[in-house]
Amino acid sequence: MDKFVIKGGKKLSGSVDINGAKNSTLPILAGAILSGDNVMIKNIPDLKDVRTMMDVLRSIGLRLTEDFESRELHIKPSEKLNIETPYELIKQMRASFFVLGPLLARMGKARVALPGGCAIGTRPVDIHLKGLEKLGAKIILGHGYVEASASKLVGDNVYLDFPSVGATENIMMAATLAEGKTLIENAAKEPEIDDLAAFLNTLGAKIKGAGTDVIEITGVKSLGGGTHSIIPDRIEAGTFMVAAAMTGSNIKINNVRLDHLEAVIAKLQDAGVSFYKTGTTIEVAAPERLKPVNIKSFPYPGFPTDMQPQFMAAMTLAKGTSCIQETIFENRFMHVAELKRMGANVQIKDRSVIVEGVKHLSGAPVMASDLRAGAALVLAALAASGKSEILRVYHIDRGYESFEKKLAGLGADISREKDTALY
């Protein structure tokens, strides 16, 4: 296992490039199952999760050729697909479950392992399954697997009890090959859903309204090939914005879709951070000291839960008290105990955290418990005085490409080392 060793207190400067979005790439790769022809994906990020999804597609029988230098991935179809996705792959990444809808639509049958619990909550898949049943799938649960089958899928109105991102994507993918029209109501509106729909439409799907809360899909007989370029990762961009904000720095972030980051930018502006836009580059300038700001995570266009840990880290250094509320996941405060070890004054109260800003954090050995919590600890360590060690960096590698190299490029004192301790 690797760890990051960080000597904090250095100001950042210069510019950093943002990669393609992890959360677009994963469902788009699953969506390639629907195609009967060659698919090319551009701007693909080199991430552990993306490589896991590539392994999932290979296990199903698709042929993939990747070139992470040019950020291109070619996917060749196969007449016969393996309908089973084993637990070994699903347990590595919940998003592997996205293959259920496309496999079912393409092959009439799919057997996919149920994702287990994970560090940030139980994360059930009931909304995915209810939606697929509404399209005519027969679902059997047993032995840790979901078995879905349908001689044909038929479009229908699917109302989601909660605008789940993954369920919207799974149902949307299945509906592209269903007979007739499907309406997904109370759909999730995240930009990654719009990106998936754009990809599927390039292949010949008929999807309207993605990015709004009603998505209309008119089923087609088959999908062809095509080329699609992934949108920039809004969470990676937001994380670098907070890095600048917390270290009192001024940096430039390239390849940003500002329209995808309105809630994050608005909250950072409330905290005193300034932004200057030139094309797709944004310059972030931190104030001397951050002001306290309350946030509440919500489905898009609300404040993203995937930025909550990083924003909380920033608020630990604000001048005053802030309240961080989490409404999407029931257990997404694993970073609180670790931030305390660095001298933060943070208290959990139900699904909120009260943060009393302190003047300084002090470096300490801390443990990443999940992807964004890990990122938050790295940011805190950059701002803290002295040395920190961030253990279990594999969580961070799932979603940030070359995180330490990009931060070092901005002037941070950070290195990746082998962690030989036994846990």
Binding site for ligand UD1 (CB under 6 A): 23, 26, 94-95, 121, 123-128, 162, 164-167, 188, 192, 305-306, 328-329
Find tokens 């059997």 and name the residue: 140
Query: Measured from the CB of residue 192, what is the shortest distance to ligand UD1 in angstroms?
Result: 6
Amino acid at 356: E
Q: Which residues, in sequence order, are CB contacts of 345 under 8 Å at separation 6+?
A: 316, 355, 356, 357, 358
Q: Which of 40, 114, 118, 119 is catalytic?
A: 118
Cβ–Cβ < 8 Å for 354, 347: yes
Side-chain-facing half-sphere of 97: CA atoms under 13 Å: 27
Helix (H) / strand (E) element for 98: namely none
Find tokens 């960096």 and name the residue: 393
Q: Which of 189, 178, 180 lies closest to 214 in space, CA to CA?
A: 189
Q: Which two tokens stand for residue 114?
A: 């149920």
Nearer to ligand UD1, 136 or 163 (CB): 163
Nearer to ligand UD1, 124 or 144 (CB): 124
Query: Measured from the CB of residue 148, what is the shortest distance to ligand UD1 in angstroms?
Result: 14
In order of 22, 41, 96, 236, the CA distances from 258 in angstroms are 17, 23, 29, 12
Query: Measured from the CB of residue 360, what is the shortest distance to ligand UD1 in angstroms?
Result: 30
Nearer to ligand UD1, 126 or 417 (CB): 126
Could you give the angle at the alpha carbon of 413 between the alpha carbons of 282 and 383, nearest 5°? 65
Cβ–Cβ < 8 Å for 18, 232: yes
143: exposed, middle or buried (Cβ count in 10 Å: 0-12, 13-18, 19+): exposed
Query: Measured from the CB of residue 263, what is the shortest distance to ligand UD1 in angstroms?
Result: 12
Answer yes or no: 118 catalytic. yes
What 3-state DSSP class applies to 289?
coil
Nearer to ligand UD1, 236 or 404 (CB): 236
Nearer to ligand UD1, 317 or 400 (CB): 400
Chain position whose Cβ is nearest to ligand UD1: 166
264: exposed, middle or buried (Cβ count in 10 Å: 0-12, 13-18, 19+): buried
Nearer to ligand UD1, 188 or 263 (CB): 188
Nearer to ligand UD1, 52 or 305 (CB): 305
Q: Which residues, in sequence order, are CB contacts of 134 under 8 Å at separation 6+?
A: 156, 157, 158
Alpha carbon distance 23, 49 (integer Å):
10
In order of 247, 410, 411, the CA distances from 11 in angstroms are 6, 9, 7
Query: Measured from the CB of residue 121, what is the shortest distance to ligand UD1 in angstroms?
Result: 5
Query: Measured from the CB of residue 372, what is the shortest distance to ligand UD1 in angstroms?
Result: 8
Query: Measured from the CB of residue 39, what is the shortest distance to ligand UD1 in angstroms?
Result: 19
Find tokens 């094309």 and name the residue: 279
Alpha carbon distance 283, 262 (integer Å):
15
Query: Measured from the CB of residue 93, what is the shortest distance to ligand UD1 in angstroms?
Result: 8
Nearer to ligand UD1, 77 or 131 (CB): 131
Bridge partners (DSSP) of residue 142 are 145
Cβ–Cβ < 8 Å for 158, 182: yes
**Active site members:** 118
